[in-house]
């Protein structure tokens, strides 16, 4: 594909101008953008050439042009880096102050970061909790919360805690609760979920006894729960602001509210900032864009932070903000 420098400048300008109002860009508006340094006739020719290359589309016969999915991909792969904007000092300080005020418990931190990112950008944000193939529980506690109820508390090697309540068939004393905790810590700690065998579970249930086996089941459920990352959203209502997403808003919201499906949708294959377009998904969602970045916690653990919105998002402005949030999340989750 031959795209000379002037065509690249025209495509860059149309991406920027279309992002402002969501309206097709005509040659007159484009000429104003270039301070009339290029004539409208010349710009019309360049726009026609870019349309022929498949980088622009003309929604209506008399309308201006809009970037196509192919045009956005060319822009992202070849032009975005040239026009990236460093994060200004005031915004960087605001992000640091935001994280300093958030609850540092990992689930609360992920949820708070998603809401803060949505507020700062005006788009929908998604954050997953850290995960790794060898994520495991390093300590269990069993707390008596009623004569026939026990709260099972699990602390993971990622540093966060989860709780599940189990109903038992016999009266639970503090002594029995302590003995159950000792059993769980001897049998089920430092075991990855993928290595939790039926035989190990059956043996642990047998040692606990049939009446107290629900406590073991609760501990196993907590391990499974910890192995699967949770996705927290912020600014879901912002999706209603973009008419180009109207045809599949419900499907998109359903996907984002399903931890497993959302994780697959937003998690990039590498540690680099990745931009997914609606045409990258199956089924396709034209006009959609997901800007995604992993945050690294250490010890093989990582999570994902992403912005979801229309393809006409201001990438040079948003990507530095997203990357700063990823950096702060990594620091906050570590340890």
**Domain boundaries, position 19:** 5-83
Q: Give the percent of the chain with pLDDT over 90.
A: 73
Q: What is the CATH number of the domain that holds 28?
A: 1.10.10.10
Confidence of residue 47 (pLDDT cuts 50, 70, 90): very high
Single out the residue in 161, 194, 227 at which a domain terminates. Answer: 227
Tally of CA atoms within 13 A in the half-sphere of 231 that contains its CB: 24
Q: Which comes out higher in pLDDT, residue 166 or 171?
A: 166
What is the pLDDT, as a whole number, of residue 228? 81
CA distance 182 to 179: 5
**Residues 44, 50, 54, 55, CA torsion sign:** negative
Single out the residue in 183, 199, 227 at which a domain terminates. Answer: 227
Distance of CA 158 to CAs 113, 130, 335, Å? Answer: 17, 7, 7
What is the pLDDT, as a whole number, of residue 335? 57
What is the pLDDT, as a whole number, of residue 157? 81
Q: What's the mean pLDDT in 117-130?
A: 96
Nearest Cα neighbor of 125 from 139, 137, 110 is 110
How much is the pTM? 0.84
Single out the residue in 195, 227, 259 at which a domain terminates. Answer: 227
Q: Is the pLDDT of residue 61 over 70?
A: no
CA distance 117 to 97: 13
Mark whether 111 and 64 lie in a shared domain: no
Mark whether 126 and 233 lie in a shared domain: yes
What is the pLDDT, as a whole number, of residue 293? 97
What is the pLDDT, as a whole number, of residue 88? 92
Contact partners, residue 140, CB within 8 Å, separation at least 6: 152, 153, 154, 155, 181, 184, 185, 188, 189, 219
What is the pLDDT, as a whole number, of residue 194? 87
Q: What's the mean pLDDT in 73-87?
A: 85
Mark whether 121 and 240 lie in a shared domain: yes
Q: Which comes out higher in pLDDT, residue 120 or 157?
A: 120
Mark whether 148 and 176 lie in a shared domain: yes
- 219 is written with which tokens? 């501990």
Q: Taking CA 154 as the corner, what is the angle to CA 148 and CA 158, rounded to the nearest 5 degrees?
A: 165
Beta strands 149-156; 137-146: pairing state: antiparallel
What DSSP string describes 241-279? G-GGGGGGHHHHHHHHTSHHHHHHHH--SSSS-EEEEGG
Mark whether 289 and 274 lie in a shared domain: yes
Q: What's the mean pLDDT in 235-262?
A: 94
Q: What is the CATH number of the domain that holds 197?
A: 3.30.390
Mark whether 143 and 184 lie in a shared domain: yes
Could you tell me if 83 and 75 are in contact, meaning their C-beta atoms sit under 8 angstroms apart?
Answer: no
pLDDT digits (tens, 9 = 90+) for 274-320: 999 999 999 999 999 999 999 998 777 889 999 999 999 999 999 99
Q: What's the mean pLDDT in 89-104?
A: 95
Mark whether 253 and 275 lie in a shared domain: yes
Confidence of residue 204 (pLDDT cuts 50, 70, 90): very high
* Mean pLDDT estimate for the chain: 91
Mark whether 49 and 187 lie in a shared domain: no
Tally of domains within the chain: 3
Q: What's the mean pLDDT in 32-55?
A: 89
Q: Is the pLDDT of residue 83 over 70?
A: no
DSSP annotation of 65: B
Confidence of residue 39 (pLDDT cuts 50, 70, 90): confident
Mark whether 195 and 123 lie in a shared domain: no
CA distance 329 to 335: 12
Bridge partner list, 291: 275, 307
What is the pLDDT, as a whole number, of residue 14? 95
> What b/e sequence results for 276-305 when a residue is b if at least 16 CB atoms lie within 10 Å of its CB, and e otherwise?
bbbbbbeeebebbbbbbbbbbbeeebbbbb
Q: What is the CATH number of the domain that holds 122?
A: 3.30.450.40
Confidence of residue 36 (pLDDT cuts 50, 70, 90): confident
Mark whether 108 and 40 lie in a shared domain: no
Residue 114 burial by CB count (10 A; 0-12/13-18/19+): exposed, middle or buried? Answer: buried
Mark whether 253 and 325 lie in a shared domain: yes
Could you tell me if 168 and 150 are in contact, meaning their C-beta atoms sit under 8 angstroms apart?
Answer: yes
Q: What's the mean pLDDT in 16-42?
A: 87
What is the pLDDT, as a whole number, of residue 7? 93
Mark whether 223 and 238 lie in a shared domain: no
């Amino acid at each position: 594909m031959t795209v000379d420098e002037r065509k690249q400048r025209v495509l860059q300008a149309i991406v920027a101008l279309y992002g402002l109002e969501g309206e097709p860009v005509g040659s007159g508006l484009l000429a104003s953008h270039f301070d009339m340094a290029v004539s409208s006739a010349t710009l019309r020719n360049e726009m026609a050439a870019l349309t022929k290359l498949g980088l622009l589309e003309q929604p209506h016969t008399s309308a201006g042009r809009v970037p196509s999915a192919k045009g956005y991909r060319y822009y992202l792969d070849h032009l975005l880096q040239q026009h990236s904007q460093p994060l200004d000092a005031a915004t960087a300080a605001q992000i640091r102050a935001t994280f300093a005020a958030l609850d540092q418990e990992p689930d609360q931190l992920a949820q708070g970061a998603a809401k803060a990112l949505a507020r700062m950008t005006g788009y929908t944000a998604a954050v997953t909790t850290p995960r790794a193939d060898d994520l495991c529980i390093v300590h269990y506690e069993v707390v008596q919360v009623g004569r026939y109820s026990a709260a099972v508390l699990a602390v993971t090697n990622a540093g966060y805690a989860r709780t599940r309540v189990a109903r038992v068939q016999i009266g639970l004393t503090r002594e029995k609760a302590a003995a159950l905790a000792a059993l769980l810590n001897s049998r089920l700690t430092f075991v990855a979920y993928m290595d939790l065998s039926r035989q190990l579970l059956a043996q642990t249930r047998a040692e606990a006894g049939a009446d107290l086996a629900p406590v073991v089941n609760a501990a196993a459920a907590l391990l499974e729960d910890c192995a699967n990352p949770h996705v927290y959203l912020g600014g879901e209502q912002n999706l209603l602001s973009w008419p180009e997403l109207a045809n599949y808003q419900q499907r998109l919201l359903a996907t984002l509210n399903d931890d497993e499906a959302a994780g697959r949708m937003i998690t990039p294959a590498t540690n680099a900032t990745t931009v997914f377009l609606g045409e990258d998904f199956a089924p396709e969602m034209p006009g959609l864009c997901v800007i995604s970045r992993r945050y690294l916690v250490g010890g093989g653990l990582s999570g994902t932070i992403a912005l979801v919105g229309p393809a006409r998002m201001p990438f040079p402005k948003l990507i530095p903000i997203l990357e700063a949030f990823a950096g702060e999340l990594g620091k906050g989750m570590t340890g």
